[in-house]
């Protein structure tokens, strides 16, 4: 390609903090804490990256990386620092008001910045972003970005599945009408998730919601296990239950591993954290016991890599 980004930009992106996990695994809580760290700009499930990732097998490495790098640095970081692209909705859990001080936010919003002012600020910043439901793309993404500071959060299948069932993400209504959740592959009568292999589509559609959720868990955790065995890949793997019981102890391990520093309100967030730790139950009547066993087996195999 004829285009190229500044070498500093490539280095910033390659050192990004990458938060991954199955959906409904506590990634948003972790993201909030990461966002509060000093000089960290955290982006919640950037939609453009979810569209771009499936193209990782269709574009050349050079083409994919320039789009990926430019989006994270130019579109997100360079627009976040001057307050042009931040979430100021105080009702949202991922609002900037939940992770930065009012003083920090007012500095962004009370002045119009020129690019020449923003660029040096960006070079001193750390990009962080969250991905869920992207396990099938992670292996190649890690080949492209070996220096990502990846944090993988795992959770027992009961918690993930019961939470998915509450959201009705794999209900018949959702699959027929795609009434909000994405990313789906379009079918004639039904839509199916893009992580689902083509030879499993009929099985998936005939299954109960619980089985569909378990199938998602199994495929996602197979991908996690595969990448955890990848040579040279050393993420910080944390468990949802252990993290929510002792958030400060776990988070200190993460910051120490990746040489990150607490921001002005990180301590406060850790001390007042209240996470729902209700007991999760899934009805065995509508469940394939083999799938449930496989899901638990994969969870325990991944848990051997805990930080």
Residues 24-66 pLDDT 10s:
999 999 999 999 999 999 999 999 999 999 999 999 999 999 9
What is the pLDDT at residue 275? 58
All structural domains of the chain with their residue ranges: 8-303
Q: What is the CATH number of domain 8-303?
A: 3.40.50
How does the average pLDDT of the chain come out, rounded?
Answer: 91
Structure-token pair, residue 275: 């996470």
Residue 276: pLDDT band by 50, 70, 90 thresholds?
low
Residues 6+ apart with CB under 8 A from 104: 264
Banded pLDDT at 283 (limits 50, 70, 90):
low
Checking 193-201 for CB contacts under 8 A at 24+ apart, the result is: 193/133, 194/54, 195/133, 195/135, 195/136, 195/219, 195/220
Q: Which pLDDT value is given to residue 248? A: 95
State residue 149's pLDDT score: 97
Confidence of residue 174 (pLDDT cuts 50, 70, 90): confident
Q: What is the greatest pairwise CA distance in the chain?
A: 62
Contact 164, 213 (CB under 8 A): yes
Dist. CA 220–CA 263, nearest whole Å: 32
288: left (phi over 0), alpha (psi -120 to 50) or beta: beta
pLDDT band at 280 (very low <50, low <70, confident <90, very high): low
Beta bridge partners of 238: 153
What DSSP string runs through 230-259?
STT---EEEEHHHHHHSHHHHHHHHHHHTT
Q: Residue 18 and residue 217: Cα distance in Å, rounded?
A: 20
Mean pLDDT of the region 138-160 = 95
- Tokens describing residue 256: 């120490």
- The CA distance from 121 to 115, in Å, is 10
The reported pLDDT for the residue numbered 203 is 92
> Could you identify the residue written with the tokens 């320039």?
66
pLDDT score for 130: 95
Count of CA atoms in the C-beta half-sphere (13 A) of 188: 0
| Percent of the chain with pLDDT strictly greater than 90 | 77
pLDDT at 188 over 80: no
- In the predicted structure, residue 89 carries a pLDDT above the cut 70: yes
- For residue 278, the number of C-alpha atoms closer than 13 Å in the C-beta half-sphere is 7
| Confidence grade of residue 288 (pLDDT, cut at 50, 70, 90) | confident
Q: By mean pLDDT, which of 77-91, 143-157, 165-179 is the weakest?
A: 165-179
pTM score: 0.92
Question: Which pLDDT score is estimated for 211?
Answer: 93
Residue 185 has pLDDT above 80, yes or no: no
């Amino acid at each position: 390609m004829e285009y190229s980004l500044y070498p500093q930009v490539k280095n910033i992106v390659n050192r990004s903090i990458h938060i991954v996990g199955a959906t409904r695994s506590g990634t948003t809580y972790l993201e909030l804490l990461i966002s509060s760290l000093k000089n960290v700009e955290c982006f919640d499930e950037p939609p453009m990256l979810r569209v771009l990732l499936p193209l990782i097998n269709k574009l050349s490495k050079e083409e994919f990386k320039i789009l990926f790098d430019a989006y994270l640095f130019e579109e997100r970081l360079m627009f976040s620092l001057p307050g042009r692209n931040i979430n100021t909705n105080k009702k949202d859990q991922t609002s900037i008001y939940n992770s930065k001080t009012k003083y920090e936010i007012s500095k962004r919003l009370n002045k119009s910045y020129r690019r020449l002012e923003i660029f040096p600020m960006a070079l001193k910043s750390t990009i962080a972003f969250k991905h869920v439901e992207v396990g099938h793309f992670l292996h190649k993404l890690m080949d492209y970005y070996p220096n990502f500071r990846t944090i993988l959060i795992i959770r027992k299948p009961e918690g993930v599945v019961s939470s998915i069932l509450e959201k009705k993400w794999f209900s018949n209504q959702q699959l027929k009408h795609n009434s909000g959740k994405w990313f789906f592959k379009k079918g004639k009568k039904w839509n199916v998730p893009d992580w689902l292999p083509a030879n499993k589509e009929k099985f998936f559609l005939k299954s109960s919601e619980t089985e569909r959720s378990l199938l998602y868990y199994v495929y996602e955790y197979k991908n996690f296990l595969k990448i955890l065995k990848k040579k040279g890949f050393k993420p910080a793997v944390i468990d949802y239950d252990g993290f929510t019981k002792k958030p400060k102890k776990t988070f200190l391990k993460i910051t120490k591993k990746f040489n990150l520093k607490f921001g002005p309100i990180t301590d406060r967030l850790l001390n007042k954290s209240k996470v729902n730790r209700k007991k999760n139950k899934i009805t065995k009547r509508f469940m394939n016991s083999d799938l449930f066993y496989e899901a638990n087996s994969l969870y325990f195999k991944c848990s051997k890599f805990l930080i």
